[in-house]
Amino acid sequence: MTAHTGPADSSQFPAARAGPKIRGQVESPVHSAVPRHVAIIMDGNGRWAEQRGLPRLSGHREGVNAIPRVLDVLAGRGVEYLTIYAFSTENWSRPSSEVEGIVELLHETLQRDTDILNEKNVRVFHIGNAERLSQDIRKAVERIQDMTRDNTGIVLNVAFDYGGRQEILAAVRQLIRDGVPAEDVTEELFSHRLFTAHCPDPDLIIRTGGELRISNFLLWQSAYSEYFHTPTLWPDLDDAELERALDSYGNRQRRFGNITPDPGE
């Protein structure tokens, strides 16, 4: 995948809707102050496996198995977009056996879950680069995006071979190729050249595994995001901890650089 080559029109940004539905899902009670877009840094798969004396790839496989449950919870709470950080541009430097296993796991998951996600009304996007992926995987990515194109439920962005700095560079280069004069470049125009041009910026970013870094994830888009850090390893993230993250967001007052208004005013 490459960065968007032209400005997105307004039809690419769906109007706010009352809770995307996954087909066959039981509705949850209505909650207030729900984030429209949740992004997750899924950290801790390797440590989860090592704690159990298993190969690291077993942790990655267990991490993949956690995604459908998280989708169900978030869709039930009315979240419209979920972005998961599956594999960074820096992850290619890991041992080749682990990298090859993760890439093969991606291929297996696409082959296994495309029809399931489509049946659940999930719309899927890949964000990141595709040049280093095999032709078979690229075809599988294109298939799931095409098959789910008309779905109206929660949008799932899978960030694979993604890096925030690289995304920004790609957007700058695209603006130059498009011949946009420097004085005409705006935040909106720039945002339309990013991989995430089809969705709003994340309201809430959750990082599992106890680390406090942003790890080159959605650097431009996260300017005003709220963060929730949990020591829970990604495969162990249960519904209660996920609900705690959502409730934490609901109890915050987002100021976007402003000051908290005086209740008496």
pLDDT in tens, 158-187: 999 999 999 999 999 999 999 999 999 999
pLDDT at 6: 35
In a domain, 138, yes or no: yes
Average pLDDT of the segment spanning 140-161: 98
Q: How many domains does the chain have?
A: 1
Average pLDDT of the segment spanning 130-152: 97
Cα angle for residues 207, 212, 217 (degrees, 5° grid): 60
pLDDT at 46: 97
Residue 225 CA to residue 38 CA, distance in Å, equals 9
Average pLDDT of the segment spanning 6-20: 39
pLDDT at 253: 73
In a domain, 128, yes or no: yes
In a domain, 123, yes or no: yes
Within 13 Å of residue 8, how many CA atoms lie on the same side as its CB? Answer: 19
Question: Which has the higher per-residue pLDDT, 165 or 13?
Answer: 165
In a domain, 47, yes or no: yes
* SS3 (DSSP) at 104: helix
In a domain, 19, yes or no: no
Question: Which has the higher per-residue pLDDT, 265 or 215?
Answer: 215
C-beta of residue 153 within 8 angstroms of C-beta of residue 121: yes
In a domain, 12, yes or no: no
- What is the extent of the structural domain holding 206? 28-250
Name the strand (E) or helix (H) holding 155: strand 155-162
C-beta of residue 167 within 8 angstroms of C-beta of residue 216: no
Residue 252: pLDDT band (50, 70, 90) is confident
Query: 157: closest CA among 130, 191, 196?
Result: 196
pLDDT at 264: 54
Lowest-confidence region among 125-139, 143-157, 246-260:
246-260
Question: Which has the higher per-residue pLDDT, 238 or 11?
Answer: 238
Residue 196 has pLDDT above 90, yes or no: yes
The residues annotated as belonging to the active site are 43, 91
pLDDT in tens, 15-61: 334 445 555 444 444 434 899 999 999 999 999 999 999 999 999 99
In a domain, 120, yes or no: yes
In a domain, 258, yes or no: no
C-beta of residue 233 within 8 angstroms of C-beta of residue 47: yes
**CATH number of the domain to which 73 belongs:** 3.40.1180.10
Percent of the chain with pLDDT over 70: 83
Q: What is the pTM of this model?
A: 0.85
